[in-house]
Amino acid sequence: MAEIKIKQYHIETPDHWRLAVYRYLPENTTRRYPVLLLHGIASNHRVWDFGVAKYSFARYLAAQGYAVYAMDLRGRCGSDGPHTGRGLQWSIDDYLLCDLPAVVEHIIAEHGTERMHWVGHSMGGILGFFYQIRHKAANLQSLTTFATALNYTYSTINHFRTLLDYISALQFYPLRYFWQPMVPLAHLDTFWNRFLWNPENMDPEIGRKILNEMIEPIAVNEWNQIKLISSAEGMPRLSGGFPHRADDRRIRVPVLMLAGDRDWICALDGVEWTYHELNCERKLIVFGKEYGSATSYGHMDLVCGKSAPQEVWPKALEWINARDAE
C-alpha cells in the first residue's frame, strides 16, 4: 500500500466544542474531491481504521488517491464529551447544526473545492441524508451508506427501547460498561457478538478492538430522536417543526446504499423501505450468501469484516470514482 500520512487535530464548533479530525493523505492526491467518513451511534472514527491496514477503509480510499477525513462527533473519545468535562448531553440537532457544518466547511476550505464525498456507517448515513435537509445538498458530490436505514421498525434494537427508556433519568448511557465483559468472548458466536456482527465474517482481533476501542456513550436526547425514526413518524427536531423524512425533496444527492443480509441493528427490510421512499437517484447492493457473497453480513462487518475488503469496498469505490469523475 502506498505511503499515507495520517494526522490528528481538532477544530472548534460554533458552540465551542472541540472535535477530533483524522486526515489521511496519500503521497499524491489524484482525486478531485475529498471524502468524509462518518461513524454511527455509540461509535467513533475507529470503525474506519483500527490500525490494521487490511481492514482499514480509510487507508484503502487514501491509497486510491483520495484525501480522506474521518471525525469523532461530540461525546466521543477524541472530541469533547463527558470524559473532558465539556458536557453530559448532546443531540442529533447538535450534530446537524454545529458539528457537521464545522467539519464540512473545514474540509472544503482545506482541500480547496466546493464539494466532497460523504460516506456514513449506520447513523453516519442517516446524518448524510438529513444534512441535505438542514444545509446545502450542493456541498455533496456523492453519498455512500453502509448499513443505514430511515426506518428501524424492523430492527432488533426495538427490544432495547424499553430498557433504555427506563434509565432515561441518566444524561447518557455508558454502553462501554455493558460490552466490556464481552471482550474475552469476541471470537465466539454469541448473541452479543451477533448483535454487532456476523462472527463468521469477523477477525477476532478486530472484534476485540470494536468492544475495547469503539463503543461510545449514547446521550438521552440523541436516543430520543433516533428511536422515533419510522415509516410514520420520521425523526423529530428538538426545536420543533416538521420531522425529517425519507421522502423530503431536499434529499437529492445520488446515494449508494450497501446492506447486509443478517444485520440485526439495521434490518434489510428497513434499508429496502428507505430505498423505495427516497426520491433521489439511488442504488442498493445487498451482501450475503443468498446474494452471491462468500458469507452473510451483519452490522459492523459490512465495513471491517473479513470479506469486506474484497466484496464491499470495491463497490463503494466504484460508486465514488464514478461521481468523482463527473
Closest CA to 244 of 91, 15, 105, 118: 91
> 238: pLDDT confidence band, cut at 50, 70 and 90?
confident
What is the C-alpha to C-alpha distance for residues 208 and 202, in angstroms, rounded to an integer? 10
Mean pLDDT across the chain:
90
Closest CA to 244 of 123, 118, 74: 123
7-17 mean pLDDT = 97
3-class SS of residue 64: coil
Residue-level length of the chain: 326
CA distance 27 to 50: 21
pLDDT in tens, 166-221: 555 556 666 676 767 777 777 878 877 888 999 999 999 999 999 999 999 888 88
More confident residue, 223 or 287: 287
Which of the 8 DSSP states describes residue 246?
A: T
Distances (CA, A) of 88 to 35, 82, 130, 157, 169: 30, 5, 24, 23, 12
CB contact at 8 A, 125 and 148: yes
Mean pLDDT of 51-73: 97
Classify residue 92 by burial, with Cβ atoms within 10 Å: 0-12, 13-18, 19+: buried
What sign has the CA pseudo-torsion 266, 272, 278, 280? positive
Share of the chain above pLDDT 90, in %: 70
pLDDT tens, position by position, 63-91:
999 999 999 999 999 999 988 988 888 99
Average pLDDT over every residue of 265-289: 95
**What is the CATH T-level fold of the domain 4-324, as seen in this structure?**
Rossmann fold (3.40.50)
What is the model's pLDDT at position 15? 95
Residue-level pLDDT at 230: 62
Contact between residue 231 and residue 88 where contact means Cβ atoms under 8 Å apart: no
| 46-84: burial string, b at 16+ Cβ within 10 Å, e else | bbbbbeeeebbbbbbbbbbbbbbbbbbbbbbbbbbbbee
